[in-house]
Amino acid sequence: MAFFLPTLPIVSLLSGGVAGGVEAAITYPMEFAKTRVQLRNERGVPSPRNPFSIVAQVIRNEGFRALYKGCSTLIVGSIGKDAVRFLCFDTIKHQFADPETGTLTPIRNMLSGMATGVVASVTCVTPTERVKTALIDDARNEKRFRNPWHAIKLIVQESGPMGLYRGLAGTTLKQAGATAFRMGTYNILKDYEKKRHIPQTILTNFANGAVAGTVTTLATQPFDVVKTRSQSAHGASTSEAIKSVLKDNGIRGFWKGTVMRLGRTIVAGGILFTTAEAVAKVLNPLFGQTSIGTMSH
């Protein structure tokens, strides 16, 4: 357990948003490859199972820029998602803290993260993930979508506004679990280090974020696979997505794309928390805050 001072909402919002945008831009090719692996193969169109082979194939056939198809959508979504994550997590965990001691148990850390994930999924993540996944899927064959705005227009025309919320159940389960494990693990590690007076450096922050990312990926991969199937170009219900995974690959199919997502999550976790800490350290003095940063309480 650790005693903490509440971070100013504006610092949480800005540091989380900047960190999310930086992380999405740097790691997008891994996200692209992971999504391609998880989507259903077209009949008669063989596709490599190895995400690294997919990257090489895309570069060879479509050019390097193709790896960034849907990237702008993910960056916008990540800025919003992580701004909401950091803001809500700081706010919620303050509410979950012991009123007398200001402490937060590991379980309450995880519950704070879970509640934050639900909020992020509904407000930002599901619609932007839907557009990103549809763009990646569409680019394989039909190529109907010219850009993110055109994709949104066609999806709304064909399925109504709720078409942007395809995969809501899978996305919300993934986000609730991912945020609980990522934020919870990160804060538990920081509490452990503070008790033992381990210096909080960039390397420490990156390592903590990487460990949190590894735990998150292994625990939530099935939700990610179902989400991707639900959010393909033509969409599918959650039950249809689950059935398609079992039909195509059996139980093992729910961990498709784990290698690439794990690589991305480890790097992303390190970048996300390191960037957020750095931005918070710059912003805190500007707003008269003396605590060490958004996630370091």
Q: Which tens digits make up the pLDDT trace of 161-182? A: 999 999 898 888 887 887 778 7
Kindly report the backbone phi and psi dihedral angles of residue 116, in degrees, each rounded to the nearest multiple of 5, phi listed first: -65, -40
Q: What is the pLDDT of residue 1?
A: 33
Q: Look at residues 104, 126, 113 and name the one whose alpha carbon lies nearest to residue 86.
A: 113
DSSP state of 124: I
140 Cβ contact partners less than 8 Å away, ≥ 6 residues apart: 36, 39, 42, 45
Separation in Å, CA 207 to CA 27, 107, 181, 228, 260: 17, 22, 15, 28, 19
Can you give the pTM of this predicted structure? Answer: 0.66
Q: What is the pLDDT of residue 44?
A: 52
Q: Are 137 and 39 in contact (CB under 8 A)?
A: yes
Q: Are 167 and 238 in contact (CB under 8 A)?
A: yes
Q: Are 229 and 245 in contact (CB under 8 A)?
A: yes
Distance separating alpha carbons of residues 136 and 138, to the nearest angstrom: 6
196 Cβ contact partners less than 8 Å away, ≥ 6 residues apart: none
Q: Are 71 and 148 in contact (CB under 8 A)?
A: no
Q: Are 232 and 137 in contact (CB under 8 A)?
A: yes
Q: Tell me which amino acid residue 24 is.
A: A
Distance separating alpha carbons of residues 272 and 182, to the nearest angstrom: 11
Distance separating alpha carbons of residues 89 and 252, to the nearest angstrom: 33
Q: What is the pLDDT of residue 292?
A: 40
Distance separating alpha carbons of residues 35 and 140, to the nearest angstrom: 12
Tokens of 128: 């932007």
Kindly report the backbone phi and psi dihedral angles of residue 248, in degrees, each rounded to the nearest multiple of 5, phi listed first: -80, -40
Q: What is the pLDDT of residue 296?
A: 39
Separation in Å, CA 289 to CA 12, 147, 264, 283, 293: 12, 41, 32, 8, 9
Kindly report the backbone phi and psi dihedral angles of residue 283, in degrees, each rounded to the nearest multiple of 5, phi listed first: -80, -35
105 three-state secondary structure: coil
Q: Look at residues 22, 7, 4 and name the one whose alpha carbon lies nearest to residue 273.
A: 22
Topology given in CATH for the domain delimited by 9-286: Mitochondrial carrier fold (1.50.40)
Tokens of 230: 């639900």
Q: Tell me which amino acid residue 269 is.
A: G
Q: What is the pLDDT of residue 289?
A: 57
Per-residue pLDDT of the chain (297 residues; tens, 9 = 90+): 333 344 677 777 788 788 888 888 888 888 888 888 888 776 555 556 666 787 888 888 888 888 888 888 878 877 877 777 777 777 777 777 777 666 667 777 778 778 888 888 888 889 988 998 998 888 887 889 988 899 999 999 999 999 999 989 888 888 788 777 877 788 788 888 888 888 888 888 888 888 887 888 888 889 889 989 998 888 788 899 899 999 988 998 898 888 888 878 777 777 887 888 888 888 888 776 554 433 433
Distance separating alpha carbons of residues 26 and 19, to the nearest angstrom: 11
